[in-house]
Chain A
Amino acid sequence: MQTLIINGIRHQVDVEDEMPLLWVLRDELGLTGTKFGCGIGQCGACTVQINGQAVRSCSFPVIAAVGAEIKTIEGLYENGYHPVQQAWIEEQVPQCGYCQSGQIMATTALLKNNPESSEEEIEQKMTNLCRCGTYVRVRRGIRRSAELMLEQEG
């Protein structure tokens, strides 16, 4: 039995220690907002946050997440859109939307760590794949998110 704290809620699961967190979320707990894309940590569709850091859950054994604060896309919406979600709507970022949970979780972690990330830093750190090619809007979404987050703090 493992105890996981996901979006502030405790969950008990009974799975193999090496099962990637992704499949625990999706197939054991029904939290399907986190997506499967490649299984080798390449595409970022499975990005979640563990203790505030962006992690590719397809390559992250569940045992390593025990005791940590896990945040998924389902936990981002609290009394309304998170600023990153708000920015994604304002900039009309998603197309098919499949990669966007991961893009949003990666952006949220990036801006939380440094809301004034430079363009270069953003390009280096945002390596999530989008097959629809929404990158120019993801970039705009990140800029708008940063503005909204600063406004919220201010």
Chain B
Amino acid sequence: MRKQTLKRRTFLKTSTLAGAGFAIGFTFDPFVSLATGSGPSVSRTKGEKLGLWVRIASDGTITLIAPSSEMGQGVNTSLSMIIAEELEADWQSIKTETAPAHSDYKNPNNPLQFTGGSSSLRGFWEPLREVGAAAREMLKTAAAQKWDVPVNECEAKSGKILHKKSGREIGYGELAEAAGKLDVPSDPVLKSPEDYELIGKPVTRLDLPAKVTGSAQFGIDVRIPGMLFATVRQSPVFEGEVLSFDETAAKNVRGVVAVVQVSNGIAVVADNTWRAKKGMEALNPQFKDGKTADESSMPGLDSQQVREQFLAALDDEGKGENDAEHAAAGLPFLDLEYEVPFLAHATLEPMNCTAYVRDDFCEVWAPTQNQEMSMDAAKDITDLDEDQIRIHTTLLGGGFGRRLETDYVKQAVTVSKLLEKPVQLTWMREEDIQHDFYRPASMSRFQISLGRDGFPLKWENQLAAPSILKRYFSPLGWFGFDPTSTEGADVLPYAIPDFDFDYSLVDPGVPVGFWRSVGSSHNAFYTESAIDEAAHTAKQDPFEYRRKLLAQKPRFRKVLEKVAADANWGRRIPEGHGLGIALHKSFASIVGAVLEVSANASGNLKMHKVWITIDCGKVVNPDTVRAQMEGGFVFGLSAALGEEITLKNGRVEQSNFHDYTILRMKGVPEISVSIIENRTLDDDQIGGVGEPAVPLAAPVLANAIFAVTGKRYRSLPLSKHGVSLI
């Protein structure tokens, strides 16, 4: 089991644990004022030490410098649980701050310092346990030296070191300074899972008190004395440029102080966000059309054209054929075509960033998932060095992949640099919907030959989709390769003797990005609908059909069986009701779902209940796993039912929540979650939970609708087919 983890331990000894030693001392705290974003009071001491994970204050307060962005996934609590477990800390004494941009806080599983890909626990599970264990051993040693007793007579418990023989005890706070002067143990002993007191228990989240009292500070809540407020307007056509604007009219609006051109648009700066918005209306900027607009040589891009590009690519790729022999035998052959639209992230907190650029220092307060690229953006624009820039990650009012981008960070830094004042730049919702990096639209075809037993003999699948990674690494475009497009369709758990998958990279010129669950967000709809169609064609029960195809995949089978058992699959269901089922693996977690729906006479749908089972390997906070299953599923349902971004003449047609329709509470089904835990798995077999429920929603809903109505919907959103909720 240890082979793979040894490599990571080496990394820890040289970098992280060296930091942990310092962190135990309580003399160090330059980040306190920074991380809270409470003001521009900046410590610029050259001697600032980074790479710190845990700080123990003299009053015993333990602060985790959390390396991940908190965007609702409860990560700060989960990471704190890991530290507290190994450190034997008193849970009530734990606090968190978000780490600055620095390579020491990079997730060992990710290429850059960012939070995404459901990777936080997978990446930090091992390093954080080691940091906690090392700190605990150092505290024990400090106590042993103080009392002049052997270390092995000392025990760590609830934030104290106990010496049972003499009945003495001492709090961590009192030991912190002495402990900080000790050497960091090279190979601290980790607790055995049987001894866990926090990990695996449903712990109350640390961030919720602030979130129910309105005191939680999101990016948009940052307030700096003397701060100005700005808003932007960007070209409605992708990559268009500003052509003209009425600066005088804008400056006549009360409170407007400046008009600043930024990348891809123009900003109005005022003493209040609403006045900046009024100023923008008066400014009335006009834009020169960009590459996707109607130009003399080329018609403007619209959704139909994107679809034609997908179809052309799929036609080029060609379809699998029904073998003559197979056809002659009269065996079933399925020829299927599916499609999904572009989608917006629509985080409820609109894009915003606050920046304060001075001659020799720059501070950025950003609700960002991407500390490293925010740092790079600030460096590029200000020409300052890394040690002259501070990136403060605030709480994020939703991320879902949108905040891996730094477009809004660049704009805020640009404006602040020019005005030499602190500036908070906030997008109106219309900008957010029309200038996203969208979940790629795509189309997918299947040709599936079923054998005499009804199971697939041959499975041929062609996907046409834009590439997300091409923007980051253009050579991928030359090879037509992008795992973030193909994940979830290129490998299936089902036993299929002849399996073929092809990907055609199509680039219609629409900016695309990482959207919660990425490739699986469309591929699970395609593959889990197709396997369901195969089961029904074979006149077999869709649960039994999948189960038989998973004979060699015990982990998958167990999830499927558990979720079917929870839903009491096979029971007599009420007239007009139907059950759908789906199974999908993403981000190293396997999730199964069963949904019960009913349809009334006019075809309107009621979702009664969904059962979800996840096997994510290890479980740190089960209530967080449940919350992410619930939220992820609803996020997927929202898209499946009613979300769609369409294009006309190079422009996004939707602009706000009246036409980009997100699911509200009405109609959301009851959700029951089961967690399959497997603590004996290797450490690297811990799965993510933030994304893996999203992909299940569309296929389980489409499959349930088929079960109850006999109608098979192969394109999303379902609202296009007249499906609506009761």
Mark A residues whose CB is within 8 Å of B. Answer: 15-16, 19-20, 22-23, 26-28, 30-40, 42-43, 45, 72-74, 76-77, 81, 85, 88-89, 92-101, 104, 122-124, 126-139
Contact = CB atoms under 8 A, between A and B. Distances in A.
A131 B400 contact: yes
19 contacts: A35-B397, A39-B277, A39-B656, A42-B658, A73-B213, A74-B214, A94-B212, A96-B349, A97-B207, A97-B208, A98-B348, A98-B398, A130-B665, A132-B398, A133-B632, A133-B637, A133-B668, A134-B630, A136-B668
A137 B350 CA distance: 23
Given A27-B229, A89-B209, A95-B627, A36 B273 contact: yes
B71 A133 contact: no
B666 A96 contact: no
A95 B272 contact: no
Interface stretch (B216-224, B233-241, B354-362, B528-536): B216-224
Interface string B621-665: 001000100111111011000000000000000001110001111
A39 B498 CA distance: 53
Most chain A beta-carbon contacts within 10 A, residue among B623, B665, B666:
B665
A132 B212 contact: no
Interface in B356-399: 395-399
Interface in B313-361: 346-350
B11 interface: no
A81 to B, nearest CB: 7
B212 A88 contact: yes
A135 B349 contact: no
B273 A96 contact: no
A76 B213 contact: yes
B205 interface: yes
The A contact surface, by secondary structure, is loop
B214 A131 contact: no
A88 B209 CA distance: 9
Given A85-B212, A97-B218, A126-B664, 8 more contacts: A19-B275, A35-B220, A92-B208, A98-B398, A127-B664, A131-B346, A133-B635, A133-B637
Given A36-B273, A77-B213, A96-B397, A123 B666 contact: yes
Contacts of A38: 429, 656-657
B81 to A, nearest CB: 14
B428 interface: yes
A126 B634 contact: no
A33 B214 contact: yes
B631 A95 contact: yes
Interface in B128-176: none
Nearest to A81: B212
B631 A134 contact: yes
Interface of B: 71-74, 204-205, 207-218, 220-221, 223, 229, 254, 271-275, 277, 346-350, 395-400, 426, 428-429, 623, 627, 630-635, 637-638, 656-658, 662-668, 670-671
Contacts of B229: 27
Given A23-B273, A96-B72, A33 B426 contact: no
A77 B215 CA distance: 11
Give the top 6 A-B pairs by smallest Cβ distance, nearest first: A33-B214, A133-B634, A98-B397, A96-B72, A97-B211, A73-B214
A38 to B, nearest CB: 5
Contacts of B397: 35, 96-98
Contact of A131 (B73, B212, B398): B398
Contacts of A97: 72, 207-208, 210-212, 216, 218, 395, 397
A133 B212 contact: no
Contacts, number: 185
B348 A99 contact: yes
A22 B215 CA distance: 16
Most chain B beta-carbon contacts within 10 A, residue among A16, A74, A139:
A16
B254 A16 contact: yes
Contact of A137 (B71, B274, B627, B657): B627
A101 B347 contact: no
A74 B213 CA distance: 6
Nearest to B347: A131
Contacts of B73: 95
Given A32-B221, A43-B657, A81-B212, A92 B204 contact: yes
A100 B634 CA distance: 17
The B contact surface, by secondary structure, is loop
Most chain A beta-carbon contacts within 10 A, residue among B229, B346, B399, B429:
B429
A31 B663 CA distance: 28
A45 B662 CA distance: 14
Nearest to A16: B254
B223 A30 contact: yes
A123 B665 contact: yes
B208 A89 contact: yes
Contacts of A72: 214
A34 B214 contact: yes
A123 to B, nearest CB: 4
B274 A20 contact: yes
Nearest to B70: A96
Contact of B633 (A128, A129, A133): A133
Contact of B635 (A74, A85, A132): A132
A40 B432 CA distance: 14
Contacts of A129: 348, 657, 662, 664
B422 to A, nearest CB: 14
B429 A137 contact: no
A33 B215 contact: yes
B348 A45 contact: yes
Contacts of A43: 348, 657
A32 B210 CA distance: 12
A104 B213 CA distance: 9
A135 B233 CA distance: 33
Nearest to B658: A42
A76 to B, nearest CB: 7
A36 B632 contact: no
A8 to B, nearest CB: 16
A31 B213 CA distance: 12
Most chain A beta-carbon contacts within 10 A, residue among B205, B218, B271, B274:
B274
B633 to A, nearest CB: 7
Contacts of A139: 665, 668
B631 A132 contact: yes
Nearest to A126: B665
A38 B397 CA distance: 13
Nearest to A99: B348
Nearest to B638: A133
A130 B348 contact: yes
A122 B638 CA distance: 20
A131 B433 CA distance: 14
Nearest to B432: A38
Contacts of B218: 35, 97-98
Contacts of A95: 72-74, 627, 631
B696 to A, nearest CB: 13
A94 B397 CA distance: 11
A100 B398 CA distance: 12
A30 B216 CA distance: 13
B281 to A, nearest CB: 12
B143 to A, nearest CB: 36
A134 B347 CA distance: 14
Contacts of A104: 212
B624 to A, nearest CB: 9
B657 A138 contact: no
B630 A137 contact: yes
Nearest to A98: B397
Most chain B beta-carbon contacts within 10 A, residue among A31, A129, A137:
A129
Contacts of B428: 39
A99 to B, nearest CB: 5
Nearest to B632: A133
A154 B635 CA distance: 39
A98 B349 contact: yes
B635 A40 contact: no
